[in-house]
A and B are shown apart, each in its own frame.
Chain A
Amino acid sequence: MFASGTQKRHWMFSGAPEIDLLRREANERYVNAFGQKMDSSSKREHFLTPGEEKLMMRHFEFILSSFCKKFSPIMPKYVQGTALTYFKRFYIHNSIMDFHPKDLMLTCVYLSCKVEEFNVSIGQFVGNLKGDREKFANIILGFELLLMDKLHYHLTVHNPFRPLEGFLIDLKTRYFKDKPESVERLRKNAEEFVEKSMSTDACLIFSPSQLALAAIIYSAGEDGISLDNYVTSVLLNKTGPEDIKKMVSQIKRIKSLVKNQEPLHRELIGPVQRKLENCRNQSNNPESEVYKRRLEEMFEEEEEERSRKRARIAKEEKETEKQLLGY
């Protein structure tokens, strides 16, 4: 349930400014950690700016969505929605430069498949990718735990798709009693609206039911139908005026957010991507030597820890044996 879950408690923000601020802070943290000896102008040249980061993020969100749409077997929409939500949440507190979105993007989709019970094995999953599949599988599994950790294991995501179904049923039952089939006409545009809202940060600001209602109202408007009467006298007939006002303003904000979404400037992507290759954190790059060394060290440490444990247990056993035998 959304109202009592982690989505509301930890992953709802007041609006775009708050999210932008958090992302700028993440960017600054990274720049300050890796560019201690540089002056501000070379910093700007070497590292991505918050704006460039945002561009990268949107670019990879787009890739993520098209990957989900082409996925075989056909992927339900809510898997894509959950994956996008993970992706957005992850890059609120982490910089694009710290973890490359091309790796995290796949991990988000893979994790979302698991959480949303869309059952694919890792082999099946990387079968949808071109190139070295084993490498991709290693990258995905390598980042999976890290992603969950950064999401604070808040893995349940409420998507607007089920509320949308709910509103369609409610409209058919309580408002268009005489011609329930006319409601189906609203579905296509409403789903498109939800889809469009997923490329914004709307899922970090609004509740899924608000998004669904906004989608329905938008779609009805496109069709030349006004749902004001439904909202005020059917849906909210027992609600105080304050709540109504609040909700209406939220719906308005959603509409303007989705409508005023800037188009993606594709021509800018290439140079930014090259810049990112230079300034990214190599210790989080699965293809770099540093990363491989670190992984090996971690592995060795684990092995060492295990052998230490074994030695300790053996010693303890010997001690107790000695005591028992009374030496």
Chain B
Amino acid sequence: MDDQGCPRCKTTKYRNPHLKLLVNVCGHSLCESCVDLLFIKGSGICPECGTSLRRNNFRLQLFEDAFVEKEVDIRRRILKDFNKKEEDFPTLREYNDYLEHLENIIFNLANNIDVENTKKMVDQYRKENKEFIQKNRLKMSRDEEYLEMLIAEEEREAKSRRELDMIEVKNEKNKKMKNKEALIDELMFSDLPASAIVAGHNVEIMEEKTTENTAPSSMFSSGTSFGFSKADGKVPVLSDLGEEYIHTPCIFDMLGPVAPTEKDVINNGYLQNIREASDSDRGGGYESRMACQRALTEAMCGLFLDSENLT
């Protein structure tokens, strides 16, 4: 990055960290100060290739490789006119042909092959498809409109949520104040002992807190909606539900007496006879009944093995 520099004044990014490289349609870069100097009149020629350029066509160079920069610029210009979409073609094949044609044009312009003819071709296309281009541009703006609408709606929702929150906080504050006042009044005028009044008051507050209803949370949405948007009017329909799954528990032949179940282990006092699980054990999801039950199960399992008649 540091060895990137202006080809005219030879300043590099290393020597001047604020260096800004600009690029014009021909794809050759110049630094900002050189542009100021050379294009003082508003137009001039590229010092590298002699193409005549206008000052207001200079843009900030985004890519290190000037060729990529040029290609991107051309692509942007061409795509403005060649804005057909897949649905505008009857078959995929034709769409692909169109895309290839488009790439050819961009390639030719970027590599200076047959520039005159290609430009003519582009002009011709523009004339022939004037209406279509216009229509497609409109269509695109409709999509953008839809997105904007979504974003606006979201903002509106966020705003109403904020307002609700504010109101709630205010209400709470008022209530607290009122409670405090009531308490003080009671302490002043009641005959009961102070501790009883305070205790009764605390209970009231607790009750209030538990009964407080939580407002239903409004739907959260980011700019994109999942699945098909409603604008399409298409909703996926599950056509084949298949057979219902029915769970059948596995039955193992334990080859021994029936081992105590989880409940038995907990209720019948088995747990008194083993080491209690420490807090760090429990933190990992371990409970002492697991080891206990495992040991008991393994003790019972296989007791009736008859090695003389193995199957």
Interface residues of A (CB under 8 A from B): 1-4, 8, 12-15, 158, 162-167, 169-170, 172-174, 180, 205-210, 212-213, 235-236, 238-239, 243, 246-247, 250
Contacts and interface: CB of A to CB of B under 8 A. Distances in A.
Given A4-B253, A158-B298, A209 B307 contact: no
Interface residues of B, number: 30
A12 B305 CA distance: 10
B301 interface: yes
A188 B257 CA distance: 26
A238 B258 CA distance: 9
B302 A162 contact: no
Interface string B264-277: 00001110111000
B307 A14 contact: yes
Contact of A208 (B252, B269, B302): B302
Contacts of B305: 8, 12, 206-207, 210, 250
A1 B297 CA distance: 9
A213 B307 contact: no
B102 interface: no
B304 interface: yes
Nearest to B303: A209
Q: Please report whether the interface of chain A is mostly helix, strand, loop or mixed according to DSSP.
A: helix
Contacts of A239: 257, 304
B295 A163 contact: yes
Given A14-B307, A162-B295, A208-B298, 5 more contacts: A2-B301, A206-B307, A213-B299, A246-B304, A250-B307
A207 B253 contact: no
Nearest to B268: A173
Contacts of A2: 255, 298, 301-302
B273 A247 contact: no
B309 to A, nearest CB: 8
B307 A247 contact: no
Contact of B294 (A15, A162, A210): A162
B299 A1 contact: no
B273 to A, nearest CB: 4
B42 to A, nearest CB: 50
Contacts of A163: 295, 298-299, 301
Contact of B310 (A12, A174, A210): A12
A238 B295 contact: no
Contact of A3 (B253, B268, B306): B253
A238 B301 contact: no
Given A3-B255, A173-B268, A167 B299 contact: yes
Nearest to B274: A169
11 contacts: A1-B254, A1-B298, A3-B254, A12-B307, A13-B307, A165-B299, A166-B297, A169-B273, A180-B272, A209-B299, A210-B303
A212 B269 CA distance: 22
Contacts of B274: 169
B114 interface: no
Nearest to B260: A170
Contacts of B300: 166, 209
Given A238-B258, A250-B307, A166 B296 contact: yes
Contacts of B273: 169, 172-173, 180
Contacts of B223: none
Given A169-B273, A238-B258, A250-B307, A209 B302 contact: yes
A15 B308 contact: yes
